[in-house]
Amino acid sequence: MSAKLGVNVDHVATIRQARRTTEPDPVTAAALAELAGADGITVHLREDRRHIQERDVRILRQTVQTRLNLEMAATDDMVELALEIQPDCVTLVPERREELTTEGGLDVALHRQLIKKQVGLLRQGGICVSLFVDPDLDQLKSSHRVGAEYVEIHTGSYCAAKTAGDRANELIKVENAIRAGKKLGLGVNAGHGLTYQNIGPVVALGGVEEFNIGHSIMSRAILVGMERAVREMVELLKR
C-alpha cells in the first residue's frame, strides 16, 4: 500500500508574514494541495506565531476535507487550544524560539510525566496523538509508554548526511525505528528534510504510513509556478 502524503503549508504563511499581509493564504494552499491529492494538511502553530496564526488553524479546521494535523509544543496553553479547535491529530514537537525549524525530536524519555499528561488530555478529548521523535529505540519505547498512538520518525539526520556512508547509516537508524515502532504497535509516520531527491530510499523501506513534507514541496511550487505568474503580470502591463 502506498504511503500517505501530509502536506505542511507553514511556509505559505511564512511568505505572508514577511509582509504582514493577507497573501498567500495557507488556507487556499491547503485546498489546492488537497485537490492535487494530499491525504492530509499539517500546520505548526508555534509559540512565537512566526508563520501559522490561530486564525489559520481555526479556518483550516472548517475547510480541510482530508485530515488536519496540528504540530505544537507540549504546553498547557497549546493543549487547551487544541482541545478547543479539535484537529484530527496533534503531533507534539519540541520547540525553541531561536531555532530555524524543529531541530531535534521530542525527548519523551526525559519529559515522560509531562508528555504522558498532555497525551492523556488530548486523547480524552478525542484527538489522535503522534510524537515527533528521533530514530532511537528509547524514545520509541517511551512514546509507547506515555500512550501515544503514532510516532513521527525525524528524518532530519538522514537528509542532512553529507556522505554516502553517513546517509546509509542514518537510513539504517530510520529503518530500525520503523520496525521497532510497528513492533510496539505504534503507527509510524516520518518527516523533516525530505526532498524529491532523498525520499526514494525511505519510501523503499516500507512501513511508513504517512510522510509529512513541507519545505521541498513549497520550494518546488514556487519554481513550477513562476513562469505562469510572470506571464500573467506581463499580460497586465500590455496596453
Catalytic residues, by residue number, are 44, 71, 192
Binding-site string for ligand PXP from residue 204 to residue 233, where x marks contact by CB under 6 A and - marks none: --------xxxxx-----------------
Of the candidates 27, 33, 38, 35, the residue with the CA atom closest to the CA atom of residue 4: 38
Nearer to ligand PXP, 179 or 215 (CB): 215
Q: CB of residue 230 vs ligand PXP: minimum separation in angstroms? A: 26
Among 70, 106, 194, 208, binds ligand PXP (CB under 6 A): 194
List 134, 152, 170, 210, residue binding ligand PXP (CB under 6 A): 152
Contact in structure between 176 and 129 (CB atoms under 8 Å)? no
Q: Cβ of residue 235: shortest distance to ligand PXP, in angstroms?
A: 33
125 is written with which cell numbers? 478529548
For the record, the C-alpha cell of 228 comes out as: 505562469
Segment contacting ligand PXP by CB under 6 A, of 12-20, 177-185, 190-198, 229-237: 190-198
**Contact flag: residue 91 with ligand PXP (CB under 6 A):** yes
Query: What whole-number distance in Å separates Cα of residue 158 and Cα of residue 39?
Result: 24
Selected from 193, 202, 209, 221, the binder of ligand PXP by CB under 6 A is: 193
Cβ atoms of 226 and 18 within 8 Å: the answer is no
Could you tell me the smallest distance in angstroms from the CB atom of residue 59 to ligand PXP? 19
Nearer Cβ to ligand PXP (27/211): 211
Helix (H) or strand (E) holding 231: helix 215-237
* Separation between Cα atoms, residue 64 and residue 186, nearest integer Å: 25
Closest approach of ligand PXP to the CB of residue 160, in Å: 10
The rounded distance, in Å, linking the Cα atoms of 41 and 33 is 8
User: Tell me, what amino acid is at 150?
Assistant: Y
The sign of the CA dihedral 173, 174, 179, 181 is positive
Which residues lie near ligand PXP (CB under 6 A)?
8, 10, 44, 71, 91, 93, 101-102, 132, 152, 191-194, 212-216
